[in-house]
């Protein structure tokens, strides 16, 4: 297939050496040489008798087109109509090949600049206003800031991960999904949870986003523990990833939780026996706090008591909380837990008075 590009290749490779008086004529010749390239490529492709040869032929053809586009993009003056027309004609050939043979093109191939500019324009047009709407849905700003930072990083040339062909559809569909979430006007929905599910399904495995999730998990593991209780229920889109060289976001989350749990379990050969409570993470944390304050634990230091709790008492989801999670208090987000614990304490007090009526006197 690449032999059909020989004449076009000679014209484009000589662009850097063409004098000012011959540029218009030369770029017109490049535009004319682009005519019929697609038909020639299809005719040659039909001559392949083996699938692997056909795939290899498409990949070589596409690689050469990308190289020619990079040269022409570098040396043409896009303010001159004839030169811009030649560039657009070459891009039409490139995009037609990508559309017809998209299954044969390696998704890890670096994305050419005209595609990158289209994505940049789409991000500039929609991302900021979408994130502003998501902030109104009480989605943590640390998450949204990392999304914005990750997009800027991906568009920065020379910075890993590089913009690749799989990003061409991945980023557009991710932004569209975020826009749909932001514009959803239904009431009484758990938007932070829905946002995190969306990011897991789109495999937004940006390391900064993962680190922000770790911080929020350490401060309050309950929402994530409830969310990841059945990881098999997630429907991640095959082949989608912010960084295809890194494990999926769901895998990284589960591995982190498993490690946190393992670090808090005793390293004894004796089988572990646990107290399986009926409290969620926030409620169990508050219960420990009250036990320490009421002098029900041997140690009056919450951290020391938490070390024992972290090895023995599970939440109702079957999770052992870390020492850090058990000791870090946030009164602003734990009111509902306090309401439930007060109800539990009232039930216990009523039971005590029923067993010992003389206490009422």
Instruction: Express each pLDDT in 234-288 by its tens digit.
Output: 788 888 999 998 999 988 988 888 787 666 655 444 445 788 888 988 888 889 8
Counted residue by residue, the chain has a size of 361
The partner residues of 164 in beta bridges, in order of sequence, read 110
Judged by DSSP in three states, 275 sits in strand
Query: Parallel, antiparallel, or unpaired: how do β-strands 313-314 and 275-276 relate?
Result: parallel
Q: Are 316 and 277 in contact (CB under 8 A)?
A: yes
Please give the residue that has the higher pLDDT: either 144 or 96.
144
pTM reported for the whole predicted model: 0.65
Q: Give the model's pLDDT for residue 328.
A: 83
Of 275, 274, 277, nearest to 286 (Cα)? Answer: 277
Judged by DSSP in three states, 35 sits in coil
Q: Are 181 and 194 in contact (CB under 8 A)?
A: yes
Q: Give the model's pLDDT for residue 271.
A: 45
Using CA atoms, how far apart are residues 3 and 187, in angstroms rounded to an integer? Answer: 61
Using CA atoms, how far apart are residues 116 and 110, in angstroms rounded to an integer? Answer: 10
Q: Give the model's pLDDT for residue 269.
A: 44
Token pair, residue 52, equals 């692997």
Q: Give the model's pLDDT for residue 359.
A: 80
Please give the residue that has the higher pLDDT: either 245 or 299.
245
In this predicted structure, the answer to whether residue 212 has a pLDDT above a threshold of 90 is yes
Q: Give the model's pLDDT for residue 46.
A: 77
Q: Give the model's pLDDT for residue 270.
A: 40
Using CA atoms, how far apart are residues 207 and 161, in angstroms rounded to an integer? Answer: 11
pLDDT in tens, 29-81: 998 988 887 777 777 777 777 888 888 888 888 899 999 999 999 888 888 99
Q: Give the model's pLDDT for residue 230.
A: 66
Q: What are the residues whose beta carbons fall under 8 Å from the beta carbon of 212, sequence distance 6 or more? A: 140, 142, 143, 146
Q: Are 196 and 142 in contact (CB under 8 A)?
A: no
Of 104, 103, 101, 120, nearest to 112 (Cα)? Answer: 120
Please give the residue that has the higher pLDDT: either 236 or 137.
137
In this predicted structure, the answer to whether residue 126 has a pLDDT above a threshold of 70 is yes
Q: Give the model's pLDDT for residue 173.
A: 95
Q: What are the residues whose beta carbons fall under 8 Å from the beta carbon of 353, sequence distance 6 or more? A: 359, 360
What is the four-CA torsion angle of 217, 271, 274, 231, rounded to 10 degrees?
A: 40
313 phi/psi in degrees, rounded to 5: -105, 125
Q: Give the model's pLDDT for residue 231.
A: 67
Q: Give the model's pLDDT for residue 235.
A: 80
Mean of the per-residue pLDDT values of the chain: 86
In this predicted structure, the answer to whether residue 89 has a pLDDT above a threshold of 80 is yes
Token pair, residue 86, equals 């030649």
Q: What are the residues whose beta carbons fall under 8 Å from the beta carbon of 27, sequence distance 6 or more? A: 15, 76, 80, 82, 83, 85, 86
What average pLDDT score do residues 3-10 get? 85
Of 225, 311, 224, nearest to 275 (Cα)? Answer: 311
């Amino acid at each position: 297939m690449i032999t059909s590009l020989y004449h076009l290749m000679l014209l484009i490779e000589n662009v850097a050496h063409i004098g000012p008086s011959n540029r218009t004529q030369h770029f017109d010749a490049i535009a004319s040489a682009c005519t019929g390239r697609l038909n020639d490529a299809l005719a040659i492709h039909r001559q392949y008798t083996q699938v692997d040869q056909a795939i290899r032929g498409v990949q070589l053809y596409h690689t050469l087109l990308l190289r020619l586009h990079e040269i022409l993009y570098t040396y043409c003056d896009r303010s001159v109509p004839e030169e811009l027309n030649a560039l657009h004609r070459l891009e039409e050939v490139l995009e037609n090949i990508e559309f017809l043979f998209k299954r044969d093109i390696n998704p890890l191939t670096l994305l050419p600049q005209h595609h990158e500019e289209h994505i940049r324009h789409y991000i500039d047009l929609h991302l900021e206003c979408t994130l502003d709407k998501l902030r109104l849905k009480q989605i943590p700003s640390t998450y949204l800031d990392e999304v914005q930072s990750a997009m800027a990083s991906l568009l920065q040339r020379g910075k890993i991960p590089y913009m690749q062909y799989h990003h061409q559809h991945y980023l557009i569909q991710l932004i569209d999904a975020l826009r749909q979430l932001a514009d959803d006007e239904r009431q009484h929905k758990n938007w932070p949870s829905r946002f995190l599910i969306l990011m897991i399904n789109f495999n937004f495995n940006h390391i900064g986003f993962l680190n922000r999730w770790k911080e929020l998990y350490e401060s309050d593991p309950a929402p994530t523990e409830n969310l990841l209780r059945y990881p098999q229920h997630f429907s991640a889109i095959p082949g989608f990833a912010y960084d295809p060289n890194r494990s999926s976001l769901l895998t990284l989350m589960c591995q982190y939780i498993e490690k946190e749990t393992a670090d808090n379990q005793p390293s004894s050969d004796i089988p572990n026996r646990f107290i399986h409570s009926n409290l969620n993470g926030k409620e169990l944390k508050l219960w420990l706090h009250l036990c320490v304050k009421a002098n029900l634990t041997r140690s009056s230091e919450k951290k020391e008591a938490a070390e024992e709790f972290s090895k023995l008492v599970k939440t109702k989801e079957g999770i052992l909380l870390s020492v850090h999670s058990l000791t870090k208090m946030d009164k602003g987000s734990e009111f509902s837990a306090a309401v439930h614990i007060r109800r539990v304490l009232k039930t216990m007090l009523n039971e005590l008075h029923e067993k010992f009526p003389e206490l009422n006197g």
